[in-house]
Amino acid sequence: MSAREIQVQKAIAHQMFVQQVAHASADVLASPLRGATICSTKSRRDYTLESTADEFCEAADTSLLPVIGVDAANLMPVLRQLEVIARRQAPRIAFKAKGSILLLDLADILAVQAEGNYVSLRHQRNPYLVHESLSSMAEKLKPYGFIRIHRSVIVNISAVEEIQPLPTGEYRLRLKTGKEYLVTRKYKHNLRDLAQLWVGSERLCG
């Protein structure tokens, strides 16, 4: 086959390719979600046909994909249901108190304080005494956003509203409830976990 015949064959193949793409695009616009044509972008080196086209449409069976239709009037009930589900999945703490087992959302625990051989869970409504060491509680609560700020205090970082440096190198920490705690120099490095972004200073909290 001569060079010119090869060029003619390439031109014909390219024209057929362009027509196939045009038909596939029309199918995408006309087809419903179920059984629709899916377009994917692939490199030219993935195909034996030499073409200047950068994109390629291939048919795919999506009949097994779930189709979810939400009417505008039903949107708010759906959102409320999702909120309830999210609350159910929120981390909780279980402990024994007065002969029964209580279950509390960790988000409602503002701080944990040592009291002898017990720790006091500073709940938004009522404090609860639990027979556990503060060191053990610090390790268990660390993955859930609690930091140790004192040898006898752990706080929920989501409850912290303000920190104030003191001349002694320590910090005063204030919760959203107005309760204040002292952050000793030994634990001040934990204050870095209070925020994901620190601005306005090259070095904050030690």
Write down the CATH number for the domain with range 91-194.
2.40.50.1020
Q: What is the pLDDT of residue 168?
A: 94
Q: What's the rounded Cα separation, in Å, for the pair 169 and 165?
A: 7
Beta bridge partners of 175: 160
Determine contact, residues 146/95, Cβ cutoff 8 Å. no
Tens-place pLDDT, residues 121-180: 999 888 999 999 999 999 999 999 999 999 999 999 999 999 999 999 999 999 999 999
Tens-place pLDDT, residues 39-58: 444 444 444 334 444 444 44
> Which one, of 62, 63, 36, 58, lies nearest residue 47 by Cα?
58
Element (H, E) at 92: strand 92-97
Determine contact, residues 183/173, Cβ cutoff 8 Å. yes
Tens-place pLDDT, residues 69-128: 656 677 777 777 777 666 666 788 998 888 889 899 999 999 999 999 999 999 988 899
**Bridge pairing between strands 160-165 and 118-123:** unpaired
Mean predicted lDDT score pLDDT of the chain: 74
> Binning pLDDT at 50, 70 and 90, where does residue 195 land?
confident
Determine contact, residues 166/184, Cβ cutoff 8 Å. no
Q: Is the pLDDT of residue 188 over 50?
A: yes
Q: Tell me the longest C-alpha to C-alpha distance in the chain.
A: 96
Q: What is the pLDDT of residue 101?
A: 92
User: What does the DSSP 8-state code read for residue 108?
Assistant: G
Q: What's the rounded Cα separation, in Å, for the pair 196 and 192?
A: 8
Beta bridge partners of 93: 104
Q: What's the rounded Cα separation, in Å, for the pair 32 and 158?
A: 45
Amino acid letter, residue 125: R
For residue 17, the tally of other CB atoms under 10 A from its CB is: 17
Q: Is the pLDDT of residue 36 over 60?
A: no
Domain boundaries along the sequence of the chain:
3-58, 91-194
CB-facing half-sphere around the CA of 195: CA atoms within 13 A: 9
Q: Is the dihedral of CA 123, 126, 131, 133 positive or negative?
A: positive
Q: What's the rounded Cα separation, in Å, for the pair 121 and 106?
A: 10
